[in-house]
Amino acid sequence: MQMPADLRYTKDHEWVRLEADGTVTMGITDFAQGSLGDIVYVELPGAGTAVSHGSRCGSVESTKSVSDLYAAVSGDVVAKNDALDSQPELVNQDAYGQGWMLRIQPTSADLSHLMDATAYAAHVDAAGH
């Protein structure tokens, strides 16, 4: 299970990467995609949609279930990964790369409320995963 050290994580298994332009890229973790199984559909908000930290901002449907996607930060969506409309399996193949889901212009660049890779690994272990 991959947990890149340069990312930040939520307890709900989303990841965030702070980009050079001040936006954040968000997706679900390798652990999450592995738990879900084969992803068949991803529902994401379009550019211009305001999202709030911890609130539902989409869903991921797999052959096993449908899971909500929660905003890791508050801000405005500046882009969604349109490739997932026709290739949702990219999330399974490359959760931290081609399988990204949203780019958000955050209201704050402070990501300290999110876990680093070490804390996220401990969170996954503590949950018995």
| Closest alpha carbon to 25 in 80, 74, 85 | 80
Structure confidence by residue, pLDDT tens digits, 6-31: 999 999 999 999 999 999 999 999 99
Q: What is the DSSP string of the chain?
A: ----TT-EE-TTSEEEEE-TTS-EEEEE-HHHHHHH-SEEEEE-PPTT-EE-TTSEEEEEEESS-EEEEE-SS-EEEEEE-THHHH-TTHHHH-TTTTT--EEEEES----TTSB-HHHHHHHHHHTT-
User: What six digits make up the tokens of 41?
Assistant: 């559909």
Query: Which residues, at least 6 apart from 122, have a Cβ–Cβ distance to it below 8 Å?
Result: none
Q: Taking the model in full, what pTM does it have?
A: 0.93
Residues 119, 11: Cα–Cα separation, whole Å: 10
Structure confidence by residue, pLDDT tens digits, 58-99: 999 999 899 999 999 999 999 999 999 999 999 999 999 999
pLDDT given for residue 127 in this prediction:
72
